[in-house]
Amino acid sequence: MIRRAFLGAAAAALAAFAAPAIAQDAENTLLIDVAGEANGTITIELLPDIAPQHVERIKTLARSGAYDDVAFHRVIDGFMAQTGDVEFATREKFGEGRAGTGGSDLPDLPAEFSDQPFERGVVGMARAQDPDSANSQFFIMFAPGDFLNGQYTVVGRVTDGMEVVDQIRRGRGQSGAVTEPDYMTDVRIASDE
């Protein structure tokens, strides 16, 4: 009898440990299907409390379909995978050699820097030299990048599918430019499904 009670308590404890403590907000969950060398779905928890304008931009572009069939155009091993150039990194325009130089037709965003550290799985907004130049491009960290802290806007973090991120085809050299990229085939907000 004691053994059965112990096993029952152990099973309940294990189930409680395995269950997520807090359900993810579907309105602020970005789902990215990836095809290429990497295949699968990346789930990102967006952080509107930290970067409301940037999160709203990502959601707007995802809902419009702008991120569908956009390449991971800059991927640096041990650093990050960058995507989101909805102007020049689409399947149709990727070969023109301008991937990574474009954005959306929406205006650039003012920086929303925070004290959130750039750790493995953190998603940040890419920008030019001007801190207020983020538009549509974002990156996912392979490893911590403390030198980015307070310099780039954190918009979210990967909660599932980091194994997919890890398989994204790497680029060459210090620039990380990818010649045969993996693509985001379908980008959507979980609450819209």
Query: What CATH number is attached to the domain comprising 186?
Result: 2.40.100.10
Residue 80 resides in a domain: yes
3-class DSSP state of 162: helix
Q: What is the pTM of this model?
A: 0.87
Residue 20 resides in a domain: no
Residue 3 resides in a domain: no
pLDDT at position 95, please? Answer: 82
Those residues of the chain that have pLDDT short of 70 are 1-23
pLDDT at position 23, please? Answer: 62
pLDDT at position 70, please? Answer: 97
What is the total count of domains within the chain?
1
CA 141, CA 122: separation in Å to the nearest integer? 6
Which burial class, exposed, middle or buried, applies to 44 when counting CB atoms under 10 A from its CB (0-12, 13-18, 19+)?
buried
Residue 58 resides in a domain: yes
Residue 118 resides in a domain: yes
Summarised one tens digit per residue, pLDDT across range 117-127 is 999 999 999 99
Summarised one tens digit per residue, pLDDT across range 5-35 is 444 444 444 444 444 445 689 999 999 999 9
Closest CA to 123 of 92, 148, 101: 148
pLDDT at position 16, please? Answer: 45
Residue 149: give the domain boundaries.
Answer: 25-192
